[in-house]
Structure 1
Amino acid sequence: MSHVVTAPDGTEITLVGVGTSVILDTPVVRVWDVVLPPGGTHPWHQHHNPYVVLSVAGSSGRMDWLDGTEPRHVSEYSGGAVFRPVSPIHRLTNTGGTRYRNRLLELKDLGENRAEGVLDVGAGARSVEGAVPGLPRPADGRVPVIGTDYVRVWTATVPTRTRLALELDDVGHVVAELDADLEDDALAASVAYHEGGTCKLDNETDHDRTFFVVALDYLAHGIGKDRA
């Protein structure tokens, strides 16, 4: 259902969803595909859950706020990740010269599943290109991208014609392929929720495939007790 709000100048604004289309929706997490051509804008929207942005095609961007606050300029790179709290109503414009695309993970147990309201997760965190966070490097070859008290993000690359077995912690994970060209059925199949333990990634193609692996560590902290 659409939601209409009033801008400071009295204009009525119909808010849209936080992404272009939903790829995966479970009781724990909702994953969106977000796509913007050069100069394109994702219209006014509002996040009701803290969220993770997994960048599959990076670009520069500008966030404008409905309340008139000064815009915020951001830059994302392919393979990077951002953990964000909820924020005021805003829109996002791709200010770069290339297409921008991400997978946006809404963390329901930090927001809409909580009867007491959205959890304050602080300012969030953003990965830095070329910098490796101080997370353990698992023996299965995952490369750390970002680490917080709530989520950890790695990438895992599967060479051509091989299988990679990840040994995940005993907590929910989201696994999402880092490929900016996936569409339709291939896009739907590229994101999965995993309960933890052994996760097998097969690559039957003639090129390497890289995946984001997101550990939803907050689920182990007892957050989300309201969820049925």
Structure 2
Amino acid sequence: MSETGMPEGTKLGTIGDEVIFENDTVRVWKLELQPGEIQAWHQHDLPYLVVPLTDGDNVMRFADGRVKPTAEKPGDALWREPGMPHELENVGTARYANILVEFKSVVKPA
């Protein structure tokens, strides 16, 4: 392990599995994790909103060593600020899926 808590030589991965929409204002990702699957270390450089599509019994592990369990329900809206690298593990017994919306710029009313 490095000083950051990430395995030595770790390269950061993508925010989700695929981008399903993008314009000048937002980038929308879809993510799916099977039980026991771990999303690669990644870092959010933009503020974002997570909308779970399924129940989520996950653990976030941060580069500073923090571990944060998460319990998510379909239709939740979870606001998150950009921050340090982390990975996400589905510790539940069912598939987990979400939509993640990154905010690239502030939308101003017309």
Q: Could you state the TM-score of these two structures normalised by the residue count of structure 2? A: 0.89
In 2, Cα distance between the equivalents of 1:66 and 1:86? 14
Is 1:44 aligned to 2:41, yes or no?
yes
Identical columns (%): 33
2:59 aligns with: 62
Which aligned segments of 4 or more residues in structure 1 are displaced greater than 2 angstroms?
A: none
C-alpha deviation, 1:66, in angstroms: 1.8
Structure 2 segments unaligned to the other structure (5+ residues): none
Is 1:108–2:104 an aligned residue pair? yes
Is 1:71 the equivalent of 2:67? Answer: yes
Count residues with an aligned counterpart: 107
Which residue of structure 2 lines up, in the alignment, with residue 151 of structure 1? none
- Report the alpha carbon displacement of residue 94 of structure 1 after superposing the two structures with TM: 0.6
Structure 1 segments unaligned to the other structure (5+ residues): 1-5, 110-217, 222-228
Structure 1 residue 7 displacement after superposition: 3.2
* Contact 2:25/2:107, CA 8 A, preserved across alignment: no
Structure 2: which amino acid aligns with 1:53?
Answer: V
Relative contact order (C-alpha < 8 Å, sep 6+): which is higher? 2
Residue in 2 that maps onto 1:89 = 85
Spell out the pairing of 1:57-206 with structure 2 (5 A cutoff). 57-68=54-65, 70-109=66-105
The 2-side partners of 1:87 and 1:53 are apart by 15
**RMSD of the TM alignment (CA)?**
1.8
Higher helix share: 1
**Counterpart of 2:108?**
220
Counterpart CA distance in 2 for 1:103 and 1:34 is 6
Displacement of 1:220 in angstroms is 2.6
